[in-house]
Amino acid sequence: MKNARILIVEDETIVARDIQMQLLELGYEVVGLATRGEEAIAMTAQAKPDLVLMDIQLAGTMDGIAAADTIRANTQQRVPVVFLTAYDADDVLARAKVTEPFGYILKPFSSRVLHSVLEMALYKIQAEARLREPNLYSQAILDNMADGVLTFDTTGAVVSTNAAAKRMFGFQPGDALDCGVSALVPPYMRPQLKAFLDQVQHRSPSLGTSHTREIVGQRKDGSVFPLSLSVSKMAQQGQARAFVGIARDLSPAQQGAEEIHQLAFFDSLTQLPNRRLFLDHMQQALLTSARNGQYGALILLNLDHFKRVNSTLGYDMGDLLLKEMARRLKAIVNESDLVARLGGDEFVVLLSAVGQHAQAAATQAEATVTKILQELGKPCSLDGHILNCTPSLGVVVFLANKQGLQQLLKNAELAMRKAKEAGRSTFRFFDAAMHSAVVAHRQRVSDLQRALEQQDFLLHYQMQYDQNAQPIGVEALLRWQHPLRGILPAVEFIALAEETRLILPLGQWVLEKACTQLAGWSSNPIRSNWSMAVNISPLQFAQDDFVANVMAALASAGANPQRLRLELTEGMLLQGGVEVMKKMRALREQNVQCALDDFGTGYSSLSLLKTLPLVQLKMDPSFVRDLHTNANALAIAQAIVALGHSLGLQVIAEGVENAAQRDLLASIQCDAFQGNHFALPVAVGELPLPQ
Ligand code: C2E
Ligand code: MG
Ligand code: MG
C-alpha cells in the first residue's frame, strides 16, 4: 500500500531520522516523528496516520506499550501499531502482545524487513475492516439458520456470529460474542481445538473445503455439551485470512453424550485420559512440534512389582494405589502437559515444547522424571496399610514426527525395560548418549549443590590500575575449590549455577565474603582506598530484596558502601523495566556504585545509559584483543571511551594481555586497566604487599 501515512515514534533522533529516510525511499508518507508516548497518542488522534511505528523503549514515564494500549482503546479509529524493539525478552513481548500489535520489528533491521512487516500490517487492517462491514441482508439469512455460524480471524478472535451461535453458547441475542474461539470449549479441549484450526489453516488443500470435528463445547456459564464444528478457511492469495465455523449442538441428538465422551476418552478408575485420547494428543503434539521446531518428551512409566500388591493385598488395594499414583502424577506436571493411563499399571506423561535443542529438552525431561521418582517413591498410606511403590521410567525426546508415533512408543517401552533391567526405581533415556549426558549434567548439579553446602568456594581478586599504574581496586572473581579438579574459574560453573538458581545463595555468599574483605582492608593505609567490584547475576538483581541483601551484607561486615562496586550487565538493565531504575537509584542513595560489565557486547541503548546512575563502563575484552592488529578495533575502542567520557563515566579496559594493548588504550585516554598483563586473579594472600 504505497503512500500509506505513517507516524514514527522513536526517542533516539538519529534512529528516527534513519527510519524516516527508509520509509520515504519505500514510498510511504511520514506524517510526523514523536519521541514520547503522550506525544504519540496526541499525534495519532490528530494526524490520523494509517499506521504507527512504535519503539517500545521510550524516554519518559510512558513506554511504547502503554502508548499503544491507549491508541488501541480508541475504537472510533482503529490504527494499527507495529512495534520496534531492540529486545525480544519474553516478558516485554508478552506485555506488548496484550495491545494486539500488527507486527514486531527487531532492531537492527533491514529495509526489506521493514517493508514486509508494514505491508502485512496495512493489509491486515484493511482485511479486518472488510470483515466488519455489516451486510444486513445476509445477516438476516444467517440469523434464521438453525446451526450456529461464526466467523473468526486467524488469531482466533470472533468477528461475527448469528443468533443460533449466541443461543448455543449461552449468550443473549444482544450480547456481543467478543471472546476468542478458545473460550467456546473447556480448557482441556483447547490444545485440540488449536491443533484442529492450525491444521485447517496450514494444511487444508483448497478453499471451500470444510473440516469437521466432534469436540466438547462450553457455554458462557461453564456447562459443556457435545459439539460438532465444521470449519473452512477464507483465504486471499493463498493466505488464510479468516475462518467460517458451523457449530451444531449434538446433545439433543445424542442423549448422554457427555458420559459417552467420558467413557470413550477417560479411564474410569483414575479419571485420567485413556490410551485413545493420549494417542490423539500425541499425534497433535507431533504436528505441533513439526510446526514450531520445539522438542517434546514422552515419559512411559510402569510401577515396580505392582502385581504383588494385587496378589497379596487384593485388587481393591491395587486400585487405590493406582488412583493415588495418578493423583501424584497430575500434581507434578504442568497444566499443559498430559498424563494418561495406558492400562494396567502403565502411565504416560507427555511434555510438549521442552526446548529447541535435544539436550536442553532432555535436561527438562530429566527434571520431571526426577520429580516423579521422588514423589511416587514416597510411602503411601492406604486403607490402614503403608505401601512403598516405585516406578521405572523410559524417556524419549522427539522432534516432529520423524520416527512416527508407533516407533516412538516402542522406543519409550524399550527405554522403560532398560530401567527395569538396571534394577527398577530409576529411568533410562532411549538414546544412550543422551542418557549419559543427562546423568553427567545431574552429577554436575549435585556436585555444585554439595560444594555450596560444604562452602567449597573462595574468592580470587584481580587488581585494577589507573593510567599511572597505581592500584585502584580489585574485582572479586568466584572460584570453586573442586575436590578432584582443583581450583575452577567462574566460566566453568556460573552458567550452571544460573540455570539451577544456585547462583542466588552463591551470589549472596560472594557479596558477604567480599564485604568482609573490604572491611578488613579499611585500616590498611594502602588498601583502604581500593574499590571492590562484585559481579551480580541477572537472577540476583531481579530479586525484590536485592538492594536490602546488598545493604545487609555491607552492614554485617561493617564495610564502607562507597567502596563496593556492583558489576551489572546490559541485558539485565534492558530487561528489567522500571524496577531496574528504582533499584539503581536506591543503591546510589546508599552510596553503592554500579559499573556496566562487558560493555559493547549487548545492544546498547544510549538513552538508557544516559538515565542510569552508573560510575564506570567496563570495555569488553573482545575490543581489547585485536587492538594492536586491527585499526577498526582501535576505532571502536576509541568510540567506547569517548562515549563513556561524554556520559561522565570512568572507562576501564578488561582482559589487557600485553604492553601493546595497554599503550594503545592509554593513547585513547582509557582511564583504567585490568588484565593478565597487569595481574592474574589471585587469592587474597598473593595480592601485592602490603598485606
Ligand atoms: P567478567 O566479570 O568479565 O570477569 C573477567 C573474566 O576475565 C574473569 O574470568 C577473569 O579471570 C578473566 N580475565 C581477566 N583478565 C584476563 C586476561 O587478561 N585475559 C583473559 N583471557 N581473561 C582474563 P572468570 O573468573 O572465569 O569469570 C568469568 C565470568 O564469570 C566473569 O566475567 C563474570 O561475569 C562471572 N563471574 C565471576 N565471578 C562471579 C561472581 O562472583 N558472581 C557472578 N554472578 N558472576 C561471576
Ligand atoms: Mg566482571
Ligand atoms: Mg567483564
Give the pLDDT confidence of 384-411 residue by residue, as tens digits: 889 999 999 999 999 986 778 889 999 9
Of 667, 669, 671, 658, give the one whose Cα is nearest residue 624: 658
Report the C-alpha gap between 30 and 52 in whole angstroms: 10
Long-range contacts made by residues 651-656, C-beta under 8 angstroms, separation at least 24? Answer: 651/616, 651/617, 651/619, 652/464, 652/595, 652/616, 652/617, 652/618, 652/619, 653/618, 653/619, 653/623, 653/624, 654/618, 654/619, 654/620, 654/621, 654/624, 655/620, 655/621, 655/624, 655/625, 656/624
- What is the fold of 268-444? Alpha-Beta Plaits (3.30.70)
477 Cα–ligand 2 center, Å: 8
Residues near ligand 3 ion, CB 5 Å cutoff? 597-598, 654
Rounded alpha-carbon distances, angstroms, from residue 325 to 158, 299, 331, 415:
41, 15, 10, 21
Q: CA 19, CA 7: separation in Å to the nearest integer? A: 11
The alpha carbon of 209 and the centre of ligand 2 are apart by a number of angstroms equal to: 61
Say whether pLDDT at 509 is over 60: yes
- Residue 124 CA to its chain's centroid (Å): 27
Angle at which helix 37-47 crosses helix 64-73, to 10 degrees, equals 30
Is the per-residue pLDDT at 211 higher than 90?
A: no
Domain boundaries defined on the chain: 5-139, 146-261, 268-444, 455-686
**507 alpha carbon – ligand 2 mean position (Å):** 13
The dihedral built from the CA positions of residue 60, 64, 70 and 76, taken in this order, carries a sign that is: positive
Q: Whose CA is nearest to atom 23 of ligand 1?
A: 655
Q: CB 355: neighbour CB atoms within 10 A?
A: 18
Q: Which atom of ligand 1 is nearest to the CA of 676?
A: 18
Model pLDDT, residue 172: 81
First to last CA, the chain: 73
Q: What ligand 1 atom has the least distance to the C-alpha of 498?
A: 44
Rounded distance between C-alpha atoms, residue 565 and residue 614, angstroms: 10
Which residues have a beta carbon within 5 Å of ligand 2, which is an ion?
535, 567, 597
Can you state the angle between helices 432-453 and 503-521, rounded to 10 degrees?
A: 40
Q: Which atom of ligand 1 is nearest to the CA of 459?
A: 41
Measuring CA to CA, which residue among 448, 428, 447 is closest to residue 438? 428
Which protein residue has the closest C-alpha to ligand 1 atom 21? 655
Which residue has the CA at smallest separation from atom 17 of ligand 1? 655
Q: Measured in angstroms, how far is the CA atom of residue 389 from the centroid of ligand 1? A: 47
CA–centroid distance, residue 163 to ligand 2 (Å): 65
Three-class DSSP category at 614: coil
Q: Say how many Å lie between the CA of residue 218 and the centre of ligand 2.
A: 55
CATH number, span 5-139: 3.40.50.2300
Among 461, 463, 475, 491, which is best to mutate for testing ligand 1, by the most ligand atoms less than 8 A from CB? 491
Sorting pLDDT into bands at 50, 70 and 90, what band is 97?
Answer: confident
Ligand 2 centroid–CA 572 distance in Å is 14
Q: Which amino acid is at 100?
A: E
Ligand 1: atom nearest CA of 490 is 26
CB-CB contact of 464 with 471 (8 Å): yes
CA-based nearest residue to 566, from 543, 603, 538, 600: 538
Q: Whose CA is nearest to atom 4 of ligand 1?
A: 477
How far, in Å, is the centroid of ligand 3 from the Cα of 311?
A: 65
Q: Does residue 291 surpass a pLDDT of 80?
A: yes
Model pLDDT, residue 531: 97
Q: Whose CA is nearest to atom 42 of ligand 1?
A: 535
The ligand 1 site (C-beta within 6 Å) comprises 462, 477-478, 489-491, 494, 503, 507, 510, 535-537, 567, 597-598, 654-657, 675-676, 681
d(CA 199, CA 411): 27
Amino acid, res. 650: Q
Mutational test site, ligand 1, from 448, 474, 477, max ligand atoms within 8 Å of CB? 477
Q: In what order do the strands lie in the sheet with 211-218?
A: 158-161, 148-153, 239-249, 224-236, 211-218
The answer to whether the predicted template modeling score (pTM) of the entire model surpasses 0.85 is no
Higher pLDDT, 113 or 618: 618
- The amino acid present at 637, given as its one-letter code, is A
Say if CB 100 and CB 75 are below 8 A apart: no
Q: Which atom of ligand 1 is nearest to the CA of 503?
A: 44
Report yes or no: 392 and 416 within 8 Å, Cβ to Cβ.
yes
Number of the ligand 1 atom closest to the C-alpha atom of 462? 14
* pLDDT(75) > 80: no
With beta carbons less than 8 A apart as the criterion, state whether 600 and 619 touch: yes
Nearest CA to ligand 1 atom 44: 537
| Cα 542 to ligand 1 centre (Å) | 21
Predicted confidence band of residue 691 (pLDDT cuts 50, 70, 90)? very low
Residue with CA at minimum distance from ligand 1 atom 46 = 535
- Provide the CATH number for the domain formed by 146-261 in this structure: 3.30.450.20
**DSSP summary character for residue 526:** T
Closest ligand 1 atom to residue 677 Cα is 18
**Per-residue pLDDT for 609 more than 90?**
no
Ligand 2 centroid–CA 21 distance in Å is 40
E-state strands within 314-442: 338-343, 346-351, 380-382, 385-387, 391-398, 427-429
Q: pLDDT digits over 139-198, tens only? A: 666 777 778 888 888 888 888 888 888 888 988 877 776 678 888 988 888 888 988 888
pLDDT score of 322: 96
pLDDT reported for residue 679: 95
Question: For the segment 534-565, what is each residue's pLDDT rounded down to a tens digit?
Answer: 999 999 999 999 999 999 999 999 999 999 99
Q: How many CB atoms lie within 10 A of CB 116?
A: 13
* pLDDT 10s digits, 212-270: 888 888 988 888 888 888 888 776 666 667 888 888 888 765 556 566 667 778 898 99
Nearest to 564 by CA among 591, 542, 526, 527: 591
**Average pLDDT over the chain, rounded to whole?**
88
Q: What is the dihedral of CA 463, 469, 471, 474, to 10 degrees?
A: -20
Extract the C-alpha cell encoding 629. 592488529
Question: Which homologous superfamily is 455-686 in?
Answer: EAL domain (3.20.20.450)
Which of 462, 535, 658 for mutating ligand 1's site (highest number of atoms within 8 Å of CB)? 535
If DSSP states are collapsed to H, E and C, what string results for 250-301? CCCCCCCHHHHHHHHHECCCCCCECHHHHHHHHHHHHHHHHHHCCCEEEEEE
